[in-house]
Structure 1
Amino acid sequence: MITSKQRSYLRSLANTMEPIFQIGKGGLEDTFFRQLDEALEAREILKIKVLNNSGYEAREASDIICSELGCEGIQAIGNKLVIYRKSEKKPKIELP
């Protein structure tokens, strides 16, 4: 479980990031989850854009992704969400 101070730190890291994934009309599929899992292992923190035609709200998509991949939902504002999971092999982000 992440504390509010750690969550704030992760939000500040994600502030300058560009979304590298989009959730579109294809929705949340197994291949999408596999790609997210690999990207989380490599980067630890991801910003995802939820398109209007996806049928999901950012918070809803964040909850589904986090329950599927075992990650933490850091932020869901507007149509963007940020998720975090500590890398098992090579941790890069040092939480306060």
Structure 2
Amino acid sequence: MLSGKQKRFLRAKAHHLKAIFQVGKSGVTNNMIEQLKDVLEKRELIKISILQNCLEDKEVVAEQIATDADAEIVQIIGNNIILYKESEENKMIVLPE
């Protein structure tokens, strides 16, 4: 579980990131989750965009992705979700205490 200080730190790091995944009409798929896990292992911090044609609520989508990918939701802002998962092999981000 991330503390408030850690979330602020990660939000600042994620500010300049571009969304590399998009959730559309088909919602969250198993293939998308597998790709997300790979990308999270390499980058640790990613931004996901929820398109207008997505039929599900953005909070539900965020929870589903975070649970399935074993990641933590840093922030849901507008139609963007910021996720963090500590990498086992490529640790680049050092969180504050």
TM-score band by shorter chain is: over 0.9
Deviation (angstroms), 1:78:
1.1
Aligned to 1:32: 32
> Does residue 92 in structure 1 map to residue 92 in structure 2?
yes
Q: Secondary structure of 1:54's match? A: coil
Q: Which runs of 5+ in 2 are unaligned?
A: none
Q: Which runs of 5+ in 1 are unaligned?
A: none
Deviation (angstroms), 1:88:
0.9
Mapped to 2, the partners of 1:74 and 1:62 lie a distance apart of 10
Deviations 1:52-80 (A, max 9, x none): 11112322211111111111000001111
Percent identity, aligned pairs only? Answer: 35
Mapped to 1, the partners of 2:57 and 2:95 lie a distance apart of 28
Q: Please report the RMSD computed on the Cα atoms of aligned residues, expressed in angstroms.
A: 0.9
Mapped to 1, the partners of 2:18 and 2:48 lie a distance apart of 8
TM-score (normalizing by structure 2): 0.94
TM-score (normalizing by structure 1): 0.95
Deviations 1:36-55 (A, max 9, x none): 00000000001000001111
Q: Secondary structure of 1:12's match? A: helix
5 Å matches for 1:1-96?
1-96=1-96
Letter of the 1:82 partner, please give it.
Answer: I
